[in-house]
Structure 1
Amino acid sequence: MVSFVMSPMKVMSMLMVIFGTGLSLSSEELIGVWLGMELNLYGFLILMNPDGYYTPEPCVKYFVVQSSASILMLGGFMLLMQHFVVGGLVMSVVGVLLKSGVFPLHSWVPSTIKNSSWLASGLMLTWQKIAPLIFLSVIAPLGSLWVVIGLMAGIGGVGGLNQNSVRVMSAYSSFVHTSWMLLGLSWSSVVFASYFVVYSMSVGMFFYGCSLMNKSKVMSQLSGAASGMGLLMLMGMPPFLGFVAKVLVFLMTSSGVIVVCVMGSVVSLKYYIDFFYSMVMKSLADKHKSSVKMMWGLMVIANLMGGALIVMSFI
């Protein structure tokens, strides 16, 4: 963390990523949306491999995919400005689907996540989805959006089965959560924001714990506690925040596609539980560490308090 703060290049890259997303969300013109996503892309490419420790393959693959999506989006925007509505809308939707990694242009996500760093993987599954998903919900026809949501939930639930890589499992898990976020976004931006914050916290805790696994005995146990809590939140198990977020989406929507989302979440429980018992529980084998017990207690209390605050905000 110290090296990240001390590196001007990394700080500027992170600021560019944040500014690009903010520009896309706040812009009233299509070209502003495109420009914000491009600034975000250039900043994020540096964050993917700032020190040269990781293989360049995911950086190249991510750049090619995002550049292709940007070309499609720009072409679609130009057609829309020339009043070619149908062609422009089709090109724009295809570009956004590719950029956000949403069905049917989702196959690049697991392979890119697999070989990326923990920081880059976490950002790809969380922050990098904000602008594309919001823009997709604005321009995509509602009927096609229901199809995308249902298929994303099914692919995420089934695709994650029998995966040995934690990052690949997390990529398929993100497909399920993306279906919930899109469903919430189609009804309420506040519900989407609540779900996104909870999901980002879960992924952050899970990836942070995984990145510290086996560095030392005590650190491994502490990181195991963080990973375990992040997994429980991703599972959507009560009384954790993930369950509260899913309940909010369930109560807000009246579409039958919610049944497919629930089924996808139920199927994904299988690989969540497998990982929880095979990796996380091993790191928590020593139950006499008071620091680990204290961390679990604090995390449970924080989840309960956060859930109560979310519910109270909607009353």
Structure 2
Amino acid sequence: MIKVAIAGCGTMGEVHAANLSRMPGVVIAGVYGRNPDALAGFASRYRTKAYDDFERMIEDTDADLVCVLLRTEEHKEYVIRAARCGKHVFCEKPIALRTEDARQMIDVCESHSVQLFIGHVLRFFPNYVDVKKHLDKGTIGDVGVIHTKRVGPHPGRAKAWYSNPAASGGVIMDLMIHDIDFLRWTIGEISSVYAVNVRRHDQDYALATMRFRNGTIANLEAHWGFPGPFQYAYEFAGNRGMIRMNSGDIQPFVMRIGTPDITADPAVAVPVNPAAHDAYYEEMAHFIACIKENRTPLISPHEAAESVAIARKAIQSALTGEPVYL
């Protein structure tokens, strides 16, 4: 039986607790929070004990795993506190707001021989896993240009801290980082970044152009304050075909394979229903299996730290109006 202690009873706390509560061989041993009403309701829903003292929760529960699901600005403090108690740690993305903080978190976890897993959940979404498989196989040839898009309502309307870049990192650090991590995983290392970022009222919009060391160019778009439901999309164009996905389309996933001498439409459509697969469940199950079997997780905290470094470079570029070279 794996005992899990949860720090944070907000949105992501609910997401992960709901999955943990139906996971075989797992028990939610306790939850820590600072809002008494939210804490009591959370503990009641998941039939666990509520704590307003983090160390007391760790001591009482003797948890195997601590899930740090607090505000981004608090990740460093609570990951380090859990690691120093000898606990494996699941932490939501981004790992931290600053690269140096991320590296300190990693150092503490390594020095206490505990695993640190960062929740870059796109690596568990089937429509993202599938595109990586096709790229690895060379299905569309050499990729030249990529477009990604991730837009939705501004979370600051529900939780004010998102509107404070010092607490959340803004749309680049909190939202665009999903696609930064995914593209580094699929394409490789980035050599330069140029970005623009506009913040007005309840709008936070960013557009970044990134060049990879292999010559691929990617345009990443992220928007908090989009007047519609949350949507995400990607398009990969290679010299032998194209892969495109838009979550807002009825037929969200399309792959076209062809050469210039083909005149007929060679489209092969593969419909994917994102709701049919819970990637948040899969990422947590994966990490728990790694703890049980002493395996290396799919996502290295060093990779998560590098994604933060890229996001910081994008923010720097947006502030200065100049490209940043890595």
Alignment TM-score, normalising by the size of structure 2: 0.27
The answer to which structure has the higher strand fraction is 2
Larger relative contact order (Cα-Cα within 8 Å, sequence gap ≥ 6): 2
Alignment TM-score, normalising by the size of structure 1: 0.28
